[in-house]
Chain A
Amino acid sequence: MDWQGQKLAEMLMQLLLVASAVAAFVVGYAMADFQLMLLVYAGGVVLTALVTVPNWPFFNRHPLKWLDAAEADRHPRPQVSATPSTVGKKKAGKNK
């Protein structure tokens, strides 16, 4: 799952949970059945999990474009070098 996919999954989860809660209340109130309300909501939670938990293809539409490994060799990491001469310069500077 790519970054855009994660954002989409989060949004879908929020939307589906709220929608199933609203639907559950409407059904429960209309049928005057509290248990039915909870069952509809439980169904909504299971559906939400099925939609947002597995790594579906539509969560991978924005793959990251990694640079080629050869690019790292062309720009080597700067090396830290602490030579005695530079240390001596710093000390001299402090004494002035």
Chain B
Amino acid sequence: MCFAASFSDHFNSPSPTASVKILNINWFQKEANGNDEVSMTLNISADLSSLFTWNTKQVFVFVAAEYETPQNALNQVSLWDGIIPSKEHAKFLIHTTNKYRFIDQGSNLKGKDFNLTMHWHIMPKTGKMFADKIVMTGYRLPEQYR
């Protein structure tokens, strides 16, 4: 019964949408230890209601900044996360500063092109977990500290 419930999730083909706007770079500086840190104000909107099936307990969602540096092909910094408890809460618009600090391990952020990626993990009542993401490209940090 539980297996069948979990298996029925495979027939759900979700069509989630997400968009993130950077409203403001609040400040952008180099810390005493040499790491770059930036604070920004974000507008996160998404409609993840199609992810919910009858076998969905909740959905964990987070927005990560992803960029490339000479040392690492992929850097991921989580900026915001949230737990969506039900389908009714799956369509949201959130205006926030980055919940977790956006710090680079080094000084690579000046003028850096980066992606904002919305990842989610679907937690079922029984059975298999699913994870997916939406990549949003074309963001760029300022050339100068401010």
Contact = CB atoms under 8 A, between A and B. Distances in A.
Nearest to B124: A34
A29 B1 contact: no
A15 interface: no
A29 B9 CA distance: 11
A59 to B, nearest CB: 28
B125 A34 contact: yes
Interface of B is mostly: loop
Contacts of B55: 34
Contacts of B5: 25, 28-29, 34, 37
Nearest to A31: B54
B1 A32 contact: no
A41 B1 CA distance: 9
**Interface size bracket, B side:** under 10
B73 interface: no
Contacts of A33: 54
A9 interface: no
A34 B4 contact: no
B8 interface: yes
Contacts of A37: 1, 5
A72 B132 CA distance: 79
A29 B1 CA distance: 11
B1 A34 contact: no
Contacts of A41: 1
Interface of A: 21, 24-25, 28-29, 32-34, 37, 41
